[in-house]
Structure 1
Amino acid sequence: MPKRVLQGVVVSDKQDKTVVVKVERRFTHPVMKKTVRRTKNYHAHDENNVAKVGDQVSIEESKPLSKLKTWVLLDQTKA
């Protein structure tokens, strides 16, 4: 089964080798037929501490690295 890849924005880089990424998903509400936005924060492993707050990043699913980290940073673009 392929690993999931998500795209989002870094909202925190205060921890060592860890970034918090906000990922937004959009869907149509089943009853109201209106577009709804939902956001979720993911903790991702950043081995070289290259991502900074505001960067657009891609993260990939991985094995659990700690209690919260189950994602790895793939690449980023500066904001």
Structure 2
Amino acid sequence: MNTEPKSRGLRKSRVGTVVSTAMQKTVTVAVDRFVRHPLYKKTLRRTSKLLAHDEEGACRLGDRVLIAETRPLSARKRWRIVQILMKAR
């Protein structure tokens, strides 16, 4: 029998900006990514809004945060706040 502890695997992480703090223990984080148009080769910005768990309620509107993937916490919430990179002014 294998007695080694099971590894959790590589988790995704993203950097984004807090755009809403209206919910308890949850923030909405806008994550930007850049894609190239296949025909015209123009670089376009695409934004995804992700719900992230904020246990302490430390995040404020406009903060730059690092979020990491986690187990499903609710119907749409699958990310958690790892670190606040830059506080909003």
TM over 0.5: yes
| 1:26-60 deviation digits (Å, cap 9, x = unpaired) | 02111110001100100000000000000000100
Q: How many residues align?
A: 79
The answer on 1:16 being equivalent to 2:50 is no
* Structure with larger Rg: 2
Distance across 2 between alignment mates of 1:56 and 1:49: 14
State, as a whole percentage, how many aligned pairs show the same letter: 43
Distance across 1 between alignment mates of 2:44 and 2:20: 25
Distance across 2 between alignment mates of 1:65 and 1:56: 22
Q: Where has structure 1 moved over 6 Å in runs of 4 or more?
A: none
The answer on 1:6 being equivalent to 2:51 is no
Aligned to 2:5: none
The answer on 1:69 being equivalent to 2:77 is yes
Correspondence for 2:56 among 48, 58, 61: 48
Structure 1: which 5+ runs fail to align?
none
Aligned to 1:28: 36
Letter in 2 for 1:34: K
Secondary structure of residue in 1 paired with 2:56: coil
